[in-house]
Amino acid sequence: MPNTPENPSAARASEQSGPSTAFVHHPVMVHQIVDLFAPVASGWMIDATVGGGGHTGAVLDASPDMQVLGLDQDPDALSATAQTLGHHGDRLRLRRTRFDRLAEAVAAEGVDPVVAVLFDLGVSSPQFDRAERGFSYRHAGPLDMRMDPDQLLTADAIVNSWSEAELVSLLRRNSDERHAARIARSLVAHRPVTNTADLAEIVRDAIPAAARRRGGHPAKRTFQALRIEVNDELTILADSIDQAIDVLAPGGRLAVLSYHSGEDRIVKQRLRHAATGGCTCPAALPCGCGAVPTLRLLRPGGWTPEADEIERNPRAASARLRAGEKLDVAVAA
CATH of the domain at 78: 3.40.50.150
Q: Is residue 200 part of a domain?
A: yes
Tell me: do 20 and 109 sit in the same domain. yes
Range(s) of the domain holding residue 36: 10-126+234-332
Tell me: do 115 and 260 sit in the same domain. yes
231, 259, 288 — which closes off a domain?
A: 231
Kindly tell me if the per-residue pLDDT of 332 is higher than 80. no
Structure confidence at residue 24 as a pLDDT band (50, 70, 90): low
pLDDT at residue 7, rounded to an integer: 38
Cα 123 to its chain centre, rounded Å, is: 7
pLDDT at residue 130, rounded to an integer: 80
Kindly tell me if the per-residue pLDDT of 125 is higher than 50. yes
The strands making up 114-120's β-sheet, listed across from edge to edge, are: 10-12, 92-96, 66-72, 43-47, 114-120, 248-258, 320-326, 295-297
What is the rounded (10 degree) CA torsion for 259, 264, 266, 268?
150
Contacts of residue 289, defined as CB under 8 A and 6 or more positions apart, other chains included, come to 279, 280, 281
Kindly tell me if the per-residue pLDDT of 144 is higher than 70. yes
Q: Is residue 134 part of a domain?
A: no
| More confident site: 136 or 16 | 136
Count of domains forming the chain = 2
pLDDT at residue 15, rounded to an integer: 40
Neighbours of 153 (CB within 10 A): 16
